Structure 1
Amino acid sequence: MLKLAKCGYHSTHPDGLLIDRPNGSGRYVFVLFKSHAHVTVNGRTVTVSPDTWMMFRPDTPYRYRSADRSFVNDWLHFDGADVSELLSDLDLPLDEPVPAVHSGSLSRLVMELQRSTWLGGPLQERIIDSDLRGLLLKLGNLRRLRPGSERMARYFAQLSELRSRIYSTPQQRYTIDELAAEVNLSRSHFQHVYKELFGCPVSLDLIGSRLEFAKYLLENDTQSIGSVSLMCGYENDTHFMRQFKKFTGKTPSQYRKSCTGTQALPR
């Protein structure tokens, strides 16, 4: 059975992040980078772009730090008796960066794993085992896929940079027309290519970047709800509160109360 030690979905660090494990983590670690980062593995440093993932072995010395001021990632630590065999069967690369095709779908799987840890219940361990296997199977499957055409592939780097900016600057009020113009695409074609590459509509990423930053502020700051709304790029509190509750199931105040006493986990 696969076991999840800890995980984080869309972990946001406005002032950057440094993780240093000179002796490894003791477990397998999966990281989906949503921002630029400098990663050192066994003494060799590479710079990874947004929408890149890495899987670290339990005993691999590694270190990564944000290349920009703001840093966002998904991550999880896991182990289990048959992990090595499963990773080998899937031919998943270890300790090296891999471009994340359909990264939005991978993020959703991490989000579901995080929810499973919160929900508990008598079947929790079996659900987490199933979800973890699903994530690894999806990584193996997506690695064998490529963007549907060379035309799609040529947009990947440019749109990954744009997506990273969306998540790094949630306070900005981007419009889809403005983003499409940046990459010289029509609005409809831009939306099609974006969803094809990342597995989710650009409109959801625009909302998600704001809400995840709002969560970070609510968890770590004492700013008023109105101030949080402004810092996340909303024009008024009412819109912010309605959208927050629609996507999280809680009002901002309820979310803040639910986080009282919790502590951030190391990545």
Structure 2
Amino acid sequence: MYQVIRGGYETKHPNSFVRSCPVGIPNYLLLIIHTAGQFQIGQDITHITPGHALLISPNTSYRYGNPQGAYIDDWLHFSVSSTIDFSKVFPMTNQLFPVSDTKTLTQLIKQILWEASYTKPPYLKQNIDSFFTILINHLLASYGSKDMITTASLSYESQFQSLRLEMRNTLSEKHSIKDYAQMIGISESYFQHLYTDYFGVSFQKDLIRLRIEEAQYLLSTTNLTMEEIADRCGYTSNVHFYRQFKSLTGITPNKYRKYGPPAFHTDIL
């Protein structure tokens, strides 16, 4: 399906680097951009901040780089099987758009290059296609939410990702907006704004959802008591735990443990 031609990740180009190709190239070029830059696709010139992606289609005129300073990107030349209408799979060719997780995209490109260089048949083609599918899906997700991603949220991307992972791994502990805002070095109101902007849900609602998801997992896979589960999920009150669990799932914790998710057991509601 996909054939890797050449690529690089976290490539540090010389200062004032500019690459120009007036007639394009016969394959696709994917760029994940880590610094500010200037891009020209056809006749359109755009100046961007770090954290953008661009997929240039074959035989498209382009010029890109950063005439004013350093330029760093991940880049991947690749071709696609003629049996696939890639314009339908990836409709946003030749459009710059913000990406919410450049680290993951970098790792995927790195892995694709590794597979292309060192993996032997019969796994080579399958592995490359698999990682390409994941890469394309991440790009599609970012493109689909491009109007929700702001420059501000991108600048705090790594802090918010680490914060949310910490929340998920320490649900039994107290998590407050005040503490996290101080940790990142921003106001509480700005923290709440960025959190909602980045994850599409408020901090408090997201924390409750994470706790209830953990409770569902513990109810399904352990024999812990309700009190133990409530404690592990950060609840000091069993009544509060029961109320929030039923509000989100439509079923009590006891019935969830006995019957499973309500979507599959509507008769008990």
Report sequence identity in percent: 17
C-alpha offsets along residues 223-249 of structure 1, whole Å, 9 cap, x if unaligned?
Answer: xxxxxxxxxxxxxxxxxxxxxxxxxxx
**AA partner of residue 55 (structure 2):** M
Pick 1 or 2: higher relative contact order, CA cutoff 8 A, min separation 6: 1
1:86-235 correspondence to structure 2 within 5 Å: 86-90=86-90, 92-122=91-121, 123-145=123-145, 153=149, 156-158=150-152, 160-161=154-155, 180-181=184-185, 184-185=186-187
Letter in 1 for 2:152: Q
Q: 1:84, CA displacement in angstroms?
A: 5.6
Map of 1:46 onto structure 2: 46
Of residues 58-67 and 112-121 in structure 1, the stretch that sits farther from structure 2 once superposed is 112-121
**Where in structure 1 are there 5+ consecutive unaligned residues?**
165-176, 198-267
Contact 2:4 / 2:79 at 8 angstroms: preserved in 1?
Answer: yes
Rg larger for: 2
Deviations 1:116-170 (A, max 9, x none): 12323122233112222221122223322469xx7xx5xx413545789xxxxxx
Deviates further, 123-132 or 41-50: 123-132
Q: TM-score, normalised by structure 1?
A: 0.55
After TM superposition, list the pairs within 5 Å mapping 1:58-69 onto structure 2.
Answer: 58-69=58-69
**What is aligned with 1:172?**
none
Q: Could you tell me which amino acid in structure 1 is paired with residue 8 of structure 2? A: G
What is the CA deviation profile of residues 158-214 of structure 1, one whole-angstrom value per residue up to 9, with x for unaligned ones?
3545789xxxxxxxxxxxx99933xx257xx69x95xx67xxxxxxxxxxxxxxxxx
Q: What secondary structure sits across from 2:85 in the alignment?
A: helix
* CA RMSD between the two structures: 3.2
Task: Report if aligned partners of 1:101, 1:143 keep a CA contact under 8 Å in 2.
Answer: no
AA matched with 1:157:
T
**What TM-score do the two structures reach when normalised by structure 2?**
0.55
| Structure 2: gaps (5+ residues) | 159-180, 200-269
